[in-house]
């Protein structure tokens, strides 16, 4: 039986929320949100340089002074001299090479989140870049257009390194997506929106004290690395590429007037057709592309609203406060100054629906519980599972906690959410995705497609992308093999041969 998405109504759930204005009135204004709004910074778009047939990108990780707050410098990390990195444009079918230089005082790694690529190039915990070293992974981009991102992944330190600002976007383009009548003028009508959160010390420096339960969850949201941002459109329709790059925060995103908007893409690429909603949820690592229309001269706020029912996390003295009841203004949008022709009608179909053939597929179960997956925490020398074929699998991932939220990310893969049980929370799309949120008690059935890169010598990760959970060991490893091959990790896992 091929999986059909018969639960359309379920996936399309729309939540009616209380008026944001009323709720915002009782919340304290986060630091950096009073006073004049600043124009939204747009990271530079990097198209790379063709060297020996490879589209080559240079990323210099280093310490920088960021203007996250309006009036103080914040010592932070970034790429090429900026807080957050450039947006890298990767055309499908091309061979790319990254030259990642570590100009920091400590080891880190850079992972290409959402990319199907050989495990040796993945940038997970087994590809450390020591201070002063340059790591040069190379691969051929072979997946549909999507908004992916790059971020650090050193074992046990991912949350801290991401919090300091080592992140950027990767746009995969292909002829099919480029031909669509949707906004695609970078920084003009196609806008990156990188959501993070921080805590600050009095002097403007980052507060890096980890909460023993919530890690580096911040109380000050930022968009593209600043507080209190505004963007003035020059066109009547904007495409926002939303990324939850925070370490631990879930966002319930909506507009202040409750206007509907169109979701056109999930983590791993375009949806078959636009889906109209009034709010969407993002958990750390997830992306969504949305289209929103603006009238001449109007102002509307992209905001993070309270999660209905606290996303089913009990609101009692025994339960952690995951920040699901927080309400923030994130990004003010202003309509164009002058009227212009109405935007083209939205395409009814964006891409042909992908139907993964899961007949007879290998099925696996992943039970998430506190910091463990299937009763274990991460061991860098242990291979948790082997995939020795190139067909899709069905993974069932369950959150066994009744009072904790988690999510689940798989490297070198994308998936469709076949079904959701154990929660009333709406999941707004079945995919394609690479990260899925799991409210308490939720269980998802995923049809997972892996990149075809068997290699007995290197492992890929799957993990909770709430980075404090990941850093506490909520992660496992899989190796992809040809049939009959055996895992041969050699010295690699001692980090002496790479
Ligand atoms: Cu978790």
Ligand 1 centroid, distance to 401 Cα (angstroms): 10
Say if strands 328-334 and 229-232 run parallel, antiparallel, or are unpaired: parallel
Q: Check residue 493 and give its pLDDT.
A: 57
Ligand 1 centroid, distance to 421 Cα (angstroms): 18
Q: What is the pLDDT of residues 257-296, one digit of tens each?
A: 999 999 999 999 999 999 999 999 999 999 999 999 999 9
Among 164, 468, 167, 218, residue whose Cα is nearest residue 328: 218
Ligand 1 centroid, distance to 141 Cα (angstroms): 30
Q: Where are the alpha helices (DSSP H) in 123-256?
A: 158-163, 175-178
Residue 492 predicted with pLDDT over 80: no
Q: What is the pLDDT of residues 331-372, one digit of tens each?
A: 999 999 998 888 888 999 999 988 889 999 999 999 999 999
185 shares its domain with 171: no
Ligand 1 centroid, distance to 473 Cα (angstroms): 10
Q: What is the pLDDT of residues 97-112, one digit of tens each?
A: 999 999 999 999 999 9
Ligand 1 centroid, distance to 317 Cα (angstroms): 20
Beta bridge partners of 451: none
Ligand 1 centroid, distance to 11 Cα (angstroms): 23
101 shares its domain with 223: no
Ligand 1 centroid, distance to 407 Cα (angstroms): 6
Instruction: Using the 3D structure, point to which of 287, 313, 334 is the last residue of a domain.
Output: 334
303 shares its domain with 319: yes
Ligand 1 centroid, distance to 5 Cα (angstroms): 27
Ligand 1 centroid, distance to 214 Cα (angstroms): 10
Ligand 1 centroid, distance to 371 Cα (angstroms): 6
What value does the mean pLDDT take over residues 118-131?
Answer: 96
Q: What is the pLDDT of residues 417-436, one digit of tens each?
A: 999 999 988 766 788 999 99
For 52, residues 6+ apart whose C-beta sits below 8 A from its C-beta are none
202 shares its domain with 114: no
SS3 state of residue 173 = strand
Q: Check residue 488 and give its pLDDT.
A: 87
User: CA torsion, points 351, 357, 362, 364, in degrees to nearest 10?
Assistant: 30
214 shares its domain with 292: yes
Q: Is 6 a member of any domain? A: no
Q: Check residue 120 and give its pLDDT.
A: 96
Ligand 1 centroid, distance to 467 Cα (angstroms): 8
What is the total count of domains within the chain? 3
Ligand 1 centroid, distance to 72 Cα (angstroms): 33
Instruction: Using the 3D structure, point to which of 178, 208, 227 is the last residue of a domain.
Output: 178
C-alpha 466/C-alpha 469 separation (Å) is: 5
Task: Please count the other Cβ atoms lying within 10 Å of the Cβ belonging to residue 488.
Answer: 12
Instruction: Using the 3D structure, point to which of 143, 178, 213 is the last residue of a domain.
Output: 178
Ligand 1 centroid, distance to 120 Cα (angstroms): 25
Among 123, 188, 181, 118, residue whose Cα is nearest residue 149: 123
Ligand 1 centroid, distance to 266 Cα (angstroms): 21
Q: Check residue 340 and give its pLDDT.
A: 83
What is the three-state SS of 435-495?
Answer: EEEECCCCEEEEEEEECCCCCCCCCEEEECCCHHHHHCCCEEEEEECCCCCCCCCCCHHHC
248 shares its domain with 235: yes
Ligand 1 centroid, distance to 472 Cα (angstroms): 9
195 shares its domain with 329: yes
Q: Check residue 28 and give its pLDDT.
A: 79
Q: Is 148 a member of any domain? A: yes
Q: Is 3 a member of any domain? A: no
Ligand 1 centroid, distance to 483 Cα (angstroms): 33
261 shares its domain with 315: yes
Ligand 1 centroid, distance to 498 Cα (angstroms): 30
Range of the domain at 122: 38-178
Ligand 1 centroid, distance to 441 Cα (angstroms): 13
Ligand 1 centroid, distance to 282 Cα (angstroms): 14
55 shares its domain with 169: yes
Q: Is 20 a member of any domain? A: no
Task: State the pLDDT confidence band at 9, using cuts at 50, 70 and 90.
Answer: very low
Structure tokens, 302: 């992209």
Q: What is the pLDDT of residues 450-479, one digit of tens each?
A: 999 999 999 999 999 999 999 999 999 999
Ligand 1 centroid, distance to 437 Cα (angstroms): 9
Ligand 1 centroid, distance to 405 Cα (angstroms): 6
422 shares its domain with 276: no
Ligand 1 centroid, distance to 400 Cα (angstroms): 11
Ligand 1 centroid, distance to 333 Cα (angstroms): 33
User: CA torsion, points 244, 246, 251, 256, in degrees to nearest 10?
Assistant: -80
What value does the mean pLDDT take over residues 197-216?
Answer: 95
Torsions phi, psi of 21, nearest 5?
-60, -40
What value does the mean pLDDT take over residues 310-317?
Answer: 93
Q: Is 485 a member of any domain? A: yes
Residue 11 predicted with pLDDT over 60: no
What value does the mean pLDDT take over residues 136-141?
Answer: 98
Residue 15 predicted with pLDDT over 80: no
Ligand 1 centroid, distance to 193 Cα (angstroms): 24
C-alpha 310/C-alpha 329 separation (Å) is: 18
Task: State the pLDDT confidence band at 171, using cuts at 50, 70 and 90.
Answer: very high
Q: Is 414 a member of any domain? A: yes
CATH classification at residue 114:
2.60.40.420
376 shares its domain with 482: yes
Q: Is 349 a member of any domain? A: no
What value does the mean pLDDT take over residues 184-213?
Answer: 96
Q: Is 227 a member of any domain? A: yes
Residue 7 predicted with pLDDT over 80: no
382 shares its domain with 489: yes
Q: What is the pLDDT of residues 49-94, one digit of tens each?
A: 999 999 999 999 999 999 999 999 999 999 999 999 999 999 999 9
Ligand 1 centroid, distance to 284 Cα (angstroms): 10
Ligand 1 centroid, distance to 423 Cα (angstroms): 17
Ligand 1 centroid, distance to 304 Cα (angstroms): 21
Ligand 1 centroid, distance to 406 Cα (angstroms): 4
Residue 22 predicted with pLDDT over 50: no
């Amino acid at each position: 039986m091929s999986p059909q998405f018969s639960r359309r109504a379920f996936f399309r759930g729309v939540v009616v929320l209380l008026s944001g204005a009323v709720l915002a009135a009782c919340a304290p204004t986060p630091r950096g949100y009073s006073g004049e709004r600043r124009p939204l910074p747009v990271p530079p778009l990097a198209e790379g340089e063709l060297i020996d047939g490879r589209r080559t990108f240079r990323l210099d990780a280093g310490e920088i002074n960021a203007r996250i707050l309006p009036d103080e410098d914040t010592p932070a990390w970034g790429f090429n001299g900026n807080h957050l990195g450039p947006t890298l444009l990767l055309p499908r079918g091309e061979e790319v090479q990254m030259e990642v230089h570590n100009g920091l005082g400590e080891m880190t790694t850079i992972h290409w989140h959402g990319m199907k690529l050989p495990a040796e190039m993945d940038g997970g915990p087994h590809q450390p870049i020591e201070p002063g070293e340059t790591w040069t992974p190379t691969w051929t981009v072979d997946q549909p257009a999507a908004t992916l991102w790059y971020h650090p992944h050193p074992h046990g330190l991912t949350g801290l390194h991401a919090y300091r600002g080592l992140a950027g976007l990767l746009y995969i383009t292909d002829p099919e997506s480029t031909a669509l009548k949707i906004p695609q003028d970078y920084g003009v009508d196609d806008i990156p929106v990188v959501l993070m959160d921080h805590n600050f010390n009095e002097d403007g420096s980052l507060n890096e004290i980890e909460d023993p339960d919530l890690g580096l969850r911040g109380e000050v949201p930022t968009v593209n690395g600043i507080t209190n941002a505004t963007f003035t459109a020059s066109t009547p329709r904007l495409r926002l590429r939303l990324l939850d790059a925070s370490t631990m925060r879930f966002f319930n995103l909506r507009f202040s007037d409750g206007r509907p908007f169109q979701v056109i893409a999930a983590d791993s690429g375009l949806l078959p057709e636009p889906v109209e909603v009034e709010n969407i949820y993002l958990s750390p690592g997830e992306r969504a592309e949305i289209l929103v229309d603006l009238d001449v001269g109007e102002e509307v706020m992209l905001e993070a609203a309270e999660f209905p029912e606290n996303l089913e996390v009990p609101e009692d003295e025994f339960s952690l406060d995951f920040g699901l009841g927080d309400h923030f203004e994130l990004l003010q949008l202003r309509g164009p100054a002058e009227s212009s022709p109405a935007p083209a009608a939205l395409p009814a179909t964006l891409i042909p629906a992908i139907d993964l053939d899961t007949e007879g597929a290998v099925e696996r179960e992943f039970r998430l519980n506190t910091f463990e997956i299937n009763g274990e925490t991460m061991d860098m020398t242990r291979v948790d599972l082997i995939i020795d074929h190139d067909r899709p699998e069905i993974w069932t991932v369950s959150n066994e906690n009744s009072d904790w939220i988690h999510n689940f990310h798989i490297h070198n893969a994308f998936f469709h959410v076949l079904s959701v049980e154990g929660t009333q929370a709406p999941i707004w799309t079945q995919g394609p995705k690479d990260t899925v949120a799991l409210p308490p008690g939720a269980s998802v059935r995923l049809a997972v497609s892996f990149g075809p890169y068997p290699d007995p010598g290197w492992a890929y990760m799957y993990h909770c992308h709430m980075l404090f959970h990941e850093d506490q060991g909520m992660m496992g490893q899989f190796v992809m093999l040809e049939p009959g091959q055996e895992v041969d990790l050699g010295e690699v896992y001692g980090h002496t041969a790479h």
